Amino acid sequence: MATYLEFIQQNEERDGVRFSWNVWPSSRLEATRMVVPLACILTPLKERPDLPPVQYEPVLCSRPTCKAILNPLCQVDYRAKLWACNFCFQRNQFPPAYAGISEVNQPAELMPQFSTVEYVIQRGAQSPLIFLYVVDTCLEEDDLQALKESLQMSLSLLPPDALVGLITFGRMVQVHELSCEGISKSYVFRGTKDLTAKQIQDMLGLTKPAVPVHPARPAQPQEHPSISSRFLQPIHKIDMNLTDLLGELQRDPWPVPQGKRPLRSTGVALSIAVGLLEGTFPNTGARIMLFIGGPPTQGPGMVVGDELKVPIRSWHDIEKDNARFMKKATKHYEMLANRAAANGHCVDIYACALDQTGLLEMKCCTNLTGGHMVMGDSFNTSLFKQTFQRIFSKDFNGNFRMAFGATLEVKTSRELKVAGAIGPCVSLNVKGPCVSENELGVGGTSQWKICGLDPTSTLGIYFEVVNQHNAPIPQGGRGAIQFVTHYQHSSTQRRIRVTTIARNWADAQSQLKHIEAAFDQEAAAVLMARLGVFRAESEEGPDVLRWLDRQLIRLCQKFGQYTKEDPASFRLSDSFSLYPQFMFHLRRSPFLQVFNNSPDESSYYRHHFARQDLTQSLIMIQPILYSYSFHGPPEPVLLDSSSILADRILLMDTFFQIVIYLGETIAQWQKAGYQDMPEYENFKHLLQAPLDDAQEILHTRFPMPRYINTEHGGSQARFLLSKVNPSQTHNNLYAWGQETGAPILTDDVSLQVFMDHLKKLAVSSAC
Partner 1 sequence: MAGLYVKPGNKERGWNDPPQFSYGLQTQAGGPKRTPLTKRVAAPQDGSPRVPTSETSPGAPPMGPPPLSSKASRPPFVGSCPPSSMEPTNFPVVESEILLEDVLKPLERALEDCRGHTKKQVCDDISRRLALLQEQWAGGKLSMPVKKRMALLVQELSSHQWDAADDIHRSLMVDHVTEVSQWMVGVKRLIAEKRSLSSEEAANEEKSVATAEQNQTMPGIQHDP
CA 274 to CA 664: how far, in whole Å?
55
Instruction: Output 275 or 705, the one with its CB closest to partner 1.
Output: 705
Residues 568-587 that bind partner 1 (CB under 8 A): 571-572, 577-578, 580-581
Min CB(292)–partner 1 separation in Å: 16
Residues 173-192 that bind partner 1 (CB under 8 A): 180-181
Q: Which of 106, 338, 378, 511 binds partner 1 (CB under 8 A)?
A: 378
Q: Which of 62, 695, 731, 764 binds partner 1 (CB under 8 A)?
A: 695
Residues 644-663 that bind partner 1 (CB under 8 A): 645-648, 651, 653, 657-658
8 A C-beta contact, residue 514 and residue 23: yes
| 220 near partner 1, judged by CB under 8 A | no
Q: Site map for partner 1, 430-469, x if CB under 8 A? A: ----------------------------------------
Instruction: Output 396 or 595, the one with its CB closest to partner 1.
Output: 396
Going from the C-alpha of 15 to that of each of 42, 400, 447, 450, 575, the distances in angstroms are 8, 21, 19, 19, 22
CA 491 to CA 474: how far, in whole Å?
45
Q: Which of 51, 54, 698, 749 binds partner 1 (CB under 8 A)?
A: 698
Contact region with partner 1 (CB under 8 A), list: 163-171, 238-246, 360-368, 457-465: 238-246
Give a three-class secondary structure readout of 134-170: EEECCCCHHHHHHHHHHHHHHHHHCCCCCEEEEEEEC
Instruction: Output 50 or 321, the one with its CB closest to partner 1.
Output: 50
CA 477 to CA 413: how far, in whole Å?
11
| 243 near partner 1, judged by CB under 8 A | yes
Residues 608-647 that bind partner 1 (CB under 8 A): 615, 622, 624, 626-627, 630-631, 633-634, 636-643, 645-647
| 665 near partner 1, judged by CB under 8 A | yes
Q: Which of 475, 595, 699, 734 binds partner 1 (CB under 8 A)?
A: 699
| 47 near partner 1, judged by CB under 8 A | no
Min CB(398)–partner 1 separation in Å: 9
Q: Which residues contact 588 (CB under 8 A, 6 or more apart)?
A: 748
What would you report as the CA-atom Rg of the chain, rounded to the nearest whole angstrom?
28
8 A C-beta contact, residue 101 and residue 112: no
Residues 141-170 that bind partner 1 (CB under 8 A): 142, 149-150, 152-153, 155-157, 160
CA 763 to CA 562: how far, in whole Å?
7
| 517 near partner 1, judged by CB under 8 A | no
CA 180 to CA 235: how far, in whole Å?
11
Residues 725-764 that bind partner 1 (CB under 8 A): 725, 727-728, 738-741, 751-752, 755-756
Min CB(373)–partner 1 separation in Å: 17
CA 256 to CA 259: how far, in whole Å?
8
Going from the C-alpha of 293 to that of each of 87, 137, 150, 163, the distances in angstroms are 52, 8, 15, 25
Contact region with partner 1 (CB under 8 A), list: 54-62, 200-208, 481-489, 706-714: 706-714
Q: What's the residue count for the chain?
A: 767
Which residue type is seen at 611? R
Q: Which residues contact 525 (CB under 8 A, 6 or more apart)?
A: 578, 579, 582, 583, 586, 618, 621
| 376 near partner 1, judged by CB under 8 A | yes
| 115 near partner 1, judged by CB under 8 A | no
Q: Which of 50, 141, 679, 747 binds partner 1 (CB under 8 A)?
A: 679
